[in-house]
């Protein structure tokens, strides 16, 4: 968990360098640039860098997703269903409410909290003109994911993952290209129950990831977790609607900022 926070803080720290020009400087900080000693300390204890992060990133829910995400809607979209009790991953027990008829159930209050955090991150990336890659290996929902990514002008990958797609673009594409700024996994497991190979590649390239993790998924190496059902078309449809809305809000904000200048 600490690792997750540190990665996220670093990502936010990076954004702030540019955004700080747009925002009013925070009164608590004496200068907008940390000195060398603080930076060195920050590699061990990232929270000391928090005062230097811009005001827009200090906000827990800048785009007001608390109002967008409703527990009853999530319930109707069957977000709360996990897998059979026997398949539960030890590292996913924190997100569970309990079990019914041998099936794990997610605590939708926890899910909401994490979903809002993930949506906030997506909207921030989108506001800064970042590229988001939507990834899934689920055959039932692959076309929906592709469609959703196309609608908001982002990228999708729902096919066989060629190893080195992120780590070895030079060889594979003949030229180095700009990598996505965030990778969003709508399901983290392949059909064989193994972790999606893109998770490790994104971690190697220090690309922050958002992962919809079911009760049998492994949350390791994912930056932002969304504990939810990832197998049902209805739940994926709901989550895609949320992510699309987050990207749109970020894009609108970006447009507003550009016109305001």
Partner 1 sequence: MLRIAFSRTCRSMSIASPSSVSESDTSVRKIGKALETYLKNSQQHVAMMEKHRTEFETGRRHLAKMMSLDIHELDQEAIDRAIQYLFPSGLTDPNARPVMRPPDEILPKFQRFTFDEEGKPEGTRFFTLNPKIYGLMSEIGVKTQSVMKFYDEHVGSRSVNRNDLEPANLSGSQWITADKIKKKLSEKFSNELYGQVIIAFEHLASLPGSAIEQKFLSEFREPMTASTGSKLFGPAIPEVQICAESNKRYAEVTTHCKDTRATVRVTDAGKGKYNIDGLQLHDFRHLQAREILLAPMIISQTLGRFDVAATTSCISNSLPEAPNREPLRRSGGMSALPRAVRHGAALCIAALHPESTESLRLSGLLTLDPRKNERSKVNQPGARAKWIWKRR
Residues within the interface to partner 1 (CB under 8 A): 6-7, 10-11, 13-15, 17-19, 21-22, 43, 128-131, 133, 142-143, 146, 149-150, 153-159, 162, 165-166, 172-181, 205-206, 254, 257-258, 261
Integer CA distances (angstroms), 16 to 26, 55, 183, in order? 12, 9, 20
In the complex with partner 1, which residue's Cβ is closer, 33 or 257?
257
- Least distance from partner 1 to the Cβ atom of residue 157, Å: 5
In the complex with partner 1, which residue's Cβ is closer, 103 or 205?
205
Whether the Cβ atoms of residue 165 and residue 201 lie closer than 8 Å to each other:
yes
In the complex with partner 1, which residue's Cβ is closer, 43 or 87?
43
In the complex with partner 1, which residue's Cβ is closer, 70 or 256?
256
For residue 82, which phi and psi values (nearest 5 degrees)?
-105, -155
Number of Cβ within a 10 Å radius of residue 249? 21
The two structure tokens encoding residue 244: 């699309």
Query: Collapsing DSSP states into helix, strand and coil, what is residue 135?
Result: strand
- Least distance from partner 1 to the Cβ atom of residue 92, Å: 25
The two structure tokens encoding residue 44: 């061990």
How far apart, in whole angstroms, are the C-alpha atoms of residue 221 and residue 90? 15
In the complex with partner 1, which residue's Cβ is closer, 80 or 157?
157
- Least distance from partner 1 to the Cβ atom of residue 50, Å: 15
- Least distance from partner 1 to the Cβ atom of residue 108, Å: 30
């Amino acid at each position: 968990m600490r690792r997750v926070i540190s990665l996220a803080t670093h990502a936010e720290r990076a954004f702030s360098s540019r955004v700080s020009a747009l925002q009013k400087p925070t009164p608590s900080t004496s200068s907008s640039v940390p000195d060398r000693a603080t930076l060195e300390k920050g590699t061990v204890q990232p929270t000391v860098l928090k005062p230097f992060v811009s005001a827009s990133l200090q906000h827990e829910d800048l785009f007001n997703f608390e109002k967008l995400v409703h527990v009853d809607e999530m319930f109707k979209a069957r977000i709360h269903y996990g897998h059979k009790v026997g398949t539960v991953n030890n590292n996913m027990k924190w997100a569970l409410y309990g079990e019914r008829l041998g099936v794990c159930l997610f605590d939708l209050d926890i899910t909401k909290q994490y979903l809002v955090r993930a949506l906030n991150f997506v909207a921030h990336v989108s506001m800064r003109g970042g590229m988001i890659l939507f990834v899934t290996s689920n055959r039932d929902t692959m076309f929906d994911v592709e469609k959703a990514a196309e609608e908001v002008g982002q990228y999708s990958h729902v096919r066989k993952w060629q190893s080195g797609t992120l780590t070895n673009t030079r060889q594979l594409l003949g030229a180095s290209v700009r990598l996505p700024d965030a990778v969003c996994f709508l399901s983290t497991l392949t059909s064989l129950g193994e972790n999606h190979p893109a998770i490790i590649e994104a971690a190697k390239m220090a690309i922050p990831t958002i992962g919809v993790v079911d009760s049998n998924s492994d949350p390791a190496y994912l930056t932002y977790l969304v504990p939810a059902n990832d197998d049902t078309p209805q739940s994926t449809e709901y989550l895609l609607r949320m992510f699309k809305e987050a990207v749109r809000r970020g894009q609108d904000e970006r447009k507003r900022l550009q016109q305001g200048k």
